Amino acid sequence: KKLDVVALCGSLRRASLNRQAIRLAQEVAPAHMAIEELDWRAVPVLDADELAHGFPAPVAALRTRVRAADAVLIATPEYNFSIPGGLKNVIDWLSRGEDQPLDGKPVAIVSASPGPLGGARVQYDLRKVLLFVNAMPLVKPEVFIGGAAGKFDAPTGACTDATTRDFVTRQMAAFADWIAGVQRMRGSAAA
């Protein structure tokens, strides 16, 4: 069975550079890994009063899909040096409930920005949040795609930069190993 990875893009923008990074990850992932991007556009803003009434349908669907997956890939821009509100809201929804879907889940992080740092600052805020939900983020290789507007072909979204392609290829290979390692560790802890 292939490793089942779901991807969350921190941007809803049609021409999102981060979505293009997800497309690149899909293209260069090892043969035994499949990556499916999840659409979270319909997720409402969390009102904790509503948690008592169960999860809204788009949230319930997202929770079920993330729980079933072997791992999560997050590709996100940096908004004002931190996590885009929409993505943080999705993580907040996922963090609630008895069977918290990110608990023990391997996560890989990519960020892309037209700026030179490639959204470097969002990654450590995201890692901090992922700590609290007990996710298992891959440490290395870190992938920051700086100057991203010049690294993807505007009409097709294909990555035109060999270095970026190589980094994401290596990260996805390391991610596959990390997923297997986390699953072994959790399997033996349960045994």
Instruction: Give the interface size with ligand FNR as a residue count (CB under 6 A).
Output: 15
Binding mask 149-188 toward ligand FNR (x if CB under 6 A, else -) reads ----------------------------------------
- 54 vs 150, beta carbon nearer ligand FNR: 150
Which residue type, as a one-letter code, is found at position 27? E
Which residues from 74-133 bind ligand FNR, rule CB under 6 A? Answer: 77-81, 112-115, 119
- 13 vs 184, beta carbon nearer ligand FNR: 13
3-state DSSP of the chain: CCEEEEEEECCCCCCCHHHHHHHHHHHHCCCCEEEEECCCCCCCCCCHHHHHHCCCHHHHHHHHHHHHCCEEEEEECCECCECCHHHHHHHHHHCCCCCCCCCCCEEEEEEECCCCCCCHHHHHHHHHHHHHCCCEECCCCCEEECCHHHCECCCCCCECCHHHHHHHHHHHHHHHHHHHHHHHHHHHHHC
- 115 vs 141, beta carbon nearer ligand FNR: 115
* Smallest separation (angstroms) from ligand FNR to the CB of 111: 8
Q: Which of 5, 7, 8, 17 binds ligand FNR (CB under 6 A)?
A: 17
- 38 vs 180, beta carbon nearer ligand FNR: 38
Give the closest residue to 123 by CA, choosing from 170, 61, 161, 74: 74
- 70 vs 78, beta carbon nearer ligand FNR: 78
* Smallest separation (angstroms) from ligand FNR to the CB of 22: 10
Assess 39 for contact with ligand FNR (CB under 6 A): no
Question: Under the rule (CB under 6 A), what is the footprint of ligand FNR?
Answer: 11, 13, 16-18, 77-81, 112-115, 119
